[in-house]
Structure 1
Amino acid sequence: MKQRKVPMRKDLLTNEMRPKKELVRIVRVDEATVAIDPTGKQAGRGAYVALDPEAVKGAAKKHLIESALSVKLDPDFYQELFDYVDHQKARQELFGAK
């Protein structure tokens, strides 16, 4: 059977290349709207973040996502992202990576 190519993306917070399934996409839909894109298919400018809650806390302090997407974010968005990443990481540990 032919080996399938694994799509790789660069983690915005650690600058490491990782498989796309291990990352979560953050997308800027328009000039002021930023959202978490769990499917990875939403239209707009995207950035990828690893499922590491500590890295998300560091990103909030350094405003890395804001500079990558050229938009001003509320602190509430970073909390929402932290909660999402923490939940997804716990799911991976519980059920295993798919």
Structure 2
Amino acid sequence: MKPKHIPQRTCVGCREVLPKRNLIRIVRGEQGVAIDPTRKAAGRGAYLHDVRECWVKALKGPLASALRTTINEEDRKTLTAFMDSLADPQPEKVSGSAGADLTEGPMN
């Protein structure tokens, strides 16, 4: 049996590819730029993590580019208010040689 296809999307803030359901969709519709809680609203969409750091990066320019529009002041305030409601960033991932030492066991 074939495994079920899981749609993947890229976070505009950090460029990490994740399953679509793990990201928040922002949509450019007729009423402007807004958060799409249903992930199905008509309009051009972009995706972001629920991590404040990604939102800060995205609001500096990549979000407007992904939506192919300029984000007006009212929409920016709405997005910033949503960003402020997000939890603090998650601890950074362990990477580099220190992380490898922990997972591979003692080195001889």
Q: Normalising by the residue count of structure 2, what TM-score does the alignment of the two structures yield?
A: 0.66
What is the one-letter code of the residue matched to 2:39? G
Number of paired residues? 85
**Which stretches of structure 1, 4 residues or longer, exceed 6 Å deviation after superposition?**
none
- Return the letter of the residue paired with 2:32: T
Which residue of structure 2 aligns with residue 56 of structure 1? 55
Q: Secondary structure at the match of 1:21?
A: helix
Q: How far apart are the structure 1 equivalents of 2:51 and 2:9?
A: 15
The superposition leaves residues 45-97 of structure 1 with CA deviations (integer Å, 9 ceiling, x where unpaired) of 1001111111112223x22212222122324133133045x16x9xxxxxxxx
Aligned-CA RMSD value: 2.2
1:81 is the counterpart of 2:79: no
The one-letter code matched in structure 2 to 1:19 is P
State how far apart, in whole Å, the 2-side matches of 1:42 and 1:83 are.
Answer: 23
Residue 25 of structure 1 contacts residue 49 of structure 1 at CA under 8 Å; is this kept in 2?
A: yes
Q: TM-score, normalised by structure 1?
A: 0.71
Matching of residue 21 in structure 1 with residue 30 in structure 2? no
1:18 Cα deviation from its structure 2 partner: 0.6
Amino-acid identity (%) = 38
Cα deviation 1:3-27 (Å, max 9, x = unaligned) = 3221111111111211011101000
Tell me the distance in 1 between the aligned counterparts of 2:78 and 2:4: 35
Q: Which residue of 2 aligns with 1:10?
A: 10
Query: How many angstroms apart in 1 are the aligned matches of 2:38 and 2:19?
Result: 14
Instruction: List gaps (5 residues or longer) in structure 2.
Output: 90-108
Bigger Rg, structure 1 or 2? 2
